[in-house]
Amino acid sequence: MKNILCMGLALVFGIPAAMGAISRDPYIGAVVIDANNGNVLFEDGADKPGYPASMLKLMDLFLILDRVQQGSIRLEDPVQITKEVSAIGGSQVYLDPRERFTVDELLYALMVQSANDAAMALALHVGGTREGFVRMMNDKAKELGLSPVTQFHSPHGLPPGKGQRPDMTTPRDFAKLCRALVQAHPETLKYTSVTFKVFRQEPLFEMRTHNHLLGSVAGCDGLKTGYFADAGYSIAATAQRDGARVIAVVMGSVDRKVRDAKATELLARGLLDASRAPAAPPLPPPPAVKPVPAPAAPAVAVDDAAQGEELAEPAGEEEAVSGKGGGWMKSVGLVLLGAFLAAVVGMVIQRRLLLGR
């Protein structure tokens, strides 16, 4: 039944029924999408099937970052290396069963070195078995709404062994996968933008990226290349500039330089037409600080004799308004008081004189 289904897909979607060279000049298909809204900015054979090769390691990254986000695994977790892992072949970091590396270290090996042994080690760590992890890859493809053409059969993208079908996808499907990955896990670009990293000190092993657009295309910070002889050269690339981000997928080029030239051209064209993410709103102004009234001066007990001008309160508003009238009344009062005191003093003196006689 499975063979009949595969033959049906081959007829409907043009999927090759058996392995063979499918690369073309300049490519089998290509697409550019706006990462902000998903709009297609360019397409040419975007639905033609091809072999993703090592590009599919981005699906590995997606599944692992999902589980880190969910808390079922941690980046610091050590990963066991088995004999199956160390014998994988192809691009690798030469893992040894006597070694232990963390999930985080193997993710860098997966993205920078495109290490097949790192892919297998992570697959077994997360999926339990190779088949279990591949099943997770295909479940994720369905969750993302990818077409039935996209089918994964390995966690690394190497050419299949005898009796096994190759991994398959289309430029449009893979661009959707890349956009969903970057949206769900922005930290993806932390791994895909690295051009050089030391993986092991003893014996020394240095990793260098296969993505030659990094460092040569302004704003490029990922994602992943893929190649084997029958598949040709493929790349999923992304770049951002002035609030715009685009994702370009070029699949099945006969030559690496042609692939890179086309990807560079498509990124530049896409950035011209892409939408700009809205600028972050300006920060609100700090709240106005209300002036704090000065505390009232504490009451001070002062002797009448010591009270001087310093303690006299200034004239109030009402007194200033009352003007000359108030001053005249005060003068009359003082004159009368003085006359009264003079009379009293006179009477006292007169009485003392009389008594003295």
- pLDDT tens per residue across span 298-338: 444 333 333 333 333 333 333 333 344 444 444 545 555 66
- pLDDT tens per residue across span 71-113: 999 999 999 999 999 999 899 999 999 999 999 999 999 999 9
- pLDDT tens per residue across span 340-356: 666 655 665 555 544 44
Residue 178 lies in a domain: yes
228 forms bridges with which residues in the sheet? 232
Total structural domains in the chain? 1
Q: Residue 277 has what pLDDT?
A: 77
Q: Residue 163 has what pLDDT?
A: 76
Q: Residue 291 has what pLDDT?
A: 57
Q: Residue 161 has what pLDDT?
A: 82
Q: Residue 164 has what pLDDT?
A: 81
Residue 289 lies in a domain: no
Residue 260 lies in a domain: yes
Q: Residue 318 has what pLDDT?
A: 32
**Residue 106 belongs to domain with CATH number:** 3.40.710.10
Residue 329 lies in a domain: no
Q: Residue 19 has what pLDDT?
A: 61
Q: Give the DSSP letter string of 292-353.
A: PPPPPPPP----TTT--GGGSPPP-HHHHHHTHHHHHHHHHHHHHHHHHHHHHHHHHHHHHH
**289 vs 126, higher pLDDT:** 126
Residue 263 — very low, low, confident or very high, per pLDDT cuts 50/70/90? very high
Residue 50 lies in a domain: yes
What is the pairing mode between strands 100-102 and 196-200?
unpaired
Mean pLDDT value across residues 158-163:
85
Residue 319 lies in a domain: no
Domain span at 37:
27-273
Mean pLDDT value across residues 114-141:
97
Summary mean pLDDT of the chain? 83
Q: What is the largest CA-CA distance in the chain?
A: 157
**Helices marked H in the chain:** 2-13, 57-70, 83-86, 103-108, 116-127, 130-143, 171-184, 188-192, 256-273, 317-322, 324-356
Residue 121 — very low, low, confident or very high, per pLDDT cuts 50/70/90? very high
**% of the chain at pLDDT higher than 90:** 68
Q: Residue 153 has what pLDDT?
A: 97
Computed on alpha carbons and rounded to an integer, the radius of gyration of the chain in Å comes to 43
3-state DSSP assignment of residue 54: helix
**% of the chain at pLDDT higher than 70:** 72
What amino acid positions are annotated as catalytic residues?
Answer: 54, 57, 114
**Alpha carbons within 13 A on the beta-carbon side of 19:** 17
Beta-carbon count within 10 A of 80 CB: 12
Q: Residue 281 has what pLDDT?
A: 59
Mean pLDDT value across residues 28-35:
98
Residue 262 lies in a domain: yes
Residue 336 lies in a domain: no
Q: Residue 21 has what pLDDT?
A: 85
pLDDT of 16 > 80? The answer is no
Buried-state track 106-133, b at ≥16 Cβ within 10 A, e below 16:
bbbbbbbbbbbbbbbbbbbbbbeebeeb
**Alpha carbons within 13 A on the beta-carbon side of 136:** 21
